[in-house]
A and B are shown apart, each in its own frame.
Chain A
Amino acid sequence: MIVADRKPLEEILKHVAGCGRILVLGCGGCVTVCASGGDRQAEHLAAQLRLAAKGQGRAVEVTVKTPTRQCDREFLEPLRADIGPADAVISLACGVGVQLLAEVFEAKPVYPALNTTFMGAHTGPGTWTENCRGCGQCVLAETAGVCPVARCAKSLVNGACGGTNKGKCEVSKEIDCAWYLIYKRLKARGDLSFLRAEREPLDWGKSSSGIRRTLVHPELTDTVPASAPAAPKS
């Protein structure tokens, strides 16, 4: 899932200092699961905003809504009536949701309440850890299910660097060396051939380092998107 982290209240308050009507929008997707931007966290932020306004002797009307997801237009359209009267919208979605919201309601100031951080798994009570960088060329089949792109601090493709230390990474004794894990798992399976193969550099053009990526499933596109180039005249 996409993992995000609440911004400090002071930062959020700066943006809505002059607003009388604020709509706080939680998101029912990933950020609900990682307990950063769901309905509960939206209600909590609303209470903080009301309290802060009260402390300053200001009147503020804060309402809360939590759509199923903010990254899909179909869940944003029904919010039109709530968004209309608001002076500002604070979104507890990840950066994806915040942007779509700002695009659908272009005239409305939309502010993020979260810092979007990574794609990760729930790895322990109250703990989420990054596991994928969306490199667009998944090698997990060969690395025994451990991603060297996301989990090696240097995203190396040919095995551990000299910084590998007792199974940990040179950057922190808290972080496992991804290539140590890969080695151990492959060794246990009795096949180190992947580790032995000389690998070419990654194609970073396919990754988040490259240009903005779009996925199209033709079978699902029943209408021609407005941004699509015109068909050549025959």
Chain B
Amino acid sequence: MSKFRDALASGKFTFTGEIGPPKGTNVGPVIEEAVHYLKDCCAAVNVTDIQTAVMRMSSLAACRMLVEHGVEPVLQMVTRDRNRLALQSDLLGAAALGIENVLALTGDHTTMGDHKEAKPVYDLDSVGLLQAMRKLESGTDLGRTMKGEPNALDGTPRFFKGCVVTPCAEEVEPQIIKLEKKVAAGAEFVQTQAVYDPKAFEKFMKSIQHIKVPVLVGIVLLKNAGMAKYMNANVPGVVVPKDIVKRLADADKKEVKKVSVQIAGELIRDMKGMCQGAHIMPLGWDKEIPNVIAASGA
């Protein structure tokens, strides 16, 4: 049973965190941090799937390790690296390993990562992955028998299916249309791209009032003014307002982490009335997640 699903269903403002598996086999520290800092304050912890196309340990393996340590994971699954056979196979494997929450993503293009020569797969897109999950839940899959009939699964999985959206995209209508399709394809929760502008988020949430799934606003901790400027220049659909950049730039070097946590906390405080939870992406600052939540007053 997904505690994450239950938390959202209870109507309580729900937090999720995020970890990235290591590039190597040394998975101990990140699991330990998740147990230590995220377990108590987050309903579930996302585990990234070869994030930004930089090769790392599998999300599925790290998710299982979280389960073993009593932390509920959200398995992130991108469609970049596996075709529909492998994706469905891993979904069944996830179900067997006690992993119920799955976040469907397309995934950053291979050329953005550290294996630029890799063959990008993209057999399915994020909507197709949600369709695949729904098929598996109904006891069949995306394929068919030699006679052309639907395949029958021996044991059917159950997932808590999630998707993402970029609320502050320059052109938001296509984002909303795609979100509608993801929800039609079975998405039950939404975690958003990073939001730094509560007013823009409020407008976005009004425009998706007709979409009846819980939304967790995305919060990425800004480690310094340079990162904020970098995100403004390079990360699609992310706008860090000038006053936030200035606060980070003006902060004393020793104080910058504190300021960053404060900014994140204030953002959640300002947006918690608009949505059902917050997805905090600490980018390694896992220890700060409890402080962010405390600063938000939630």
A positions within 8 Å CB-CB of B: 153-167, 170-171, 179-180, 183, 187, 192, 195-196, 198-201, 204
Contact = CB atoms under 8 A, between A and B. Distances in A.
Nearest to B128: A201
Contacts of A157: 125, 127-128
24 contacts: A154-B120, A156-B106, A156-B125, A158-B125, A158-B126, A159-B178, A162-B106, A162-B166, A162-B193, A162-B237, A163-B108, A164-B171, A164-B174, A164-B237, A165-B237, A166-B170, A166-B236, A170-B112, A171-B111, A179-B174, A187-B173, A198-B184, A199-B127, A201-B131
Contacts of B175: 160
B164 A195 contact: no
Identify the 7 closest CB pairs spanning chains A and B, nearest first.
Answer: A165-B236, A158-B127, A201-B128, A159-B178, A161-B106, A156-B125, A154-B122
Contact of B174 (A159, A163, A165): A159
Contacts of B95: none
Given A153-B109, A170-B108, A196-B181, A158 B236 contact: no
B237 A204 contact: no
Query: How many of chain B's residues touch chain A, expressed as a range?
Result: 35 or more
Nearest to B125: A156
B127 A198 contact: yes
Contact of A154 (B125, B142, B180, B236): B125
A112 to B, nearest CB: 21
Given A154-B106, A162-B236, A201-B84, A195 B177 contact: yes
B27 interface: no
B177 A201 contact: no
B108 A183 contact: no
A85 B80 CA distance: 51
Nearest to B183: A198
A161 B53 CA distance: 15
Contacts of B84: 201
A201 B169 contact: no
B193 to A, nearest CB: 6
B185 interface: yes
A165 B175 CA distance: 12
Given A159-B174, A159-B177, 13 more contacts: A153-B111, A153-B120, A154-B120, A159-B181, A160-B174, A164-B169, A164-B174, A170-B108, A171-B109, A196-B180, A198-B131, A200-B131, A201-B125
B245 interface: no
Most buried by A among B80, B123, B169, B171: B171
A183 B173 contact: yes
A161 B120 CA distance: 15
A48 B199 CA distance: 65
Contacts of A201: 84, 123-125, 128, 131, 142
Nearest to A165: B236
A186 B21 CA distance: 41
Contacts of A167: 171
B188 to A, nearest CB: 16
B178 to A, nearest CB: 4
A170 B173 contact: no
Interface in B21-78: none
A155 B178 contact: no
Given A162-B166, A171-B112, A155 B193 contact: no
Interface in B96-134: 106, 108-109, 111-112, 120, 122-128, 131
B171 A180 contact: yes
A179 B106 CA distance: 14
Nearest to A159: B178
Contacts of A165: 170, 236-237
Nearest to B185: A198
Contacts of A180: 171, 174
B45 to A, nearest CB: 21
A162 B237 CA distance: 8
Nearest to B111: A171
A183 B122 contact: no
A139 to B, nearest CB: 14
A204 B121 CA distance: 11
Interface in B190-239: 193, 236-237
Given A154-B106, A164-B169, A170-B112, A204 B178 contact: no
B109 A154 contact: yes
Contacts of A161: 106, 125-126
A163 B124 CA distance: 16
A204 B165 CA distance: 27
Contacts of A166: 170, 236
Contacts of A199: 127
A170 B122 contact: no
B89 to A, nearest CB: 16
Contacts of B165: 162
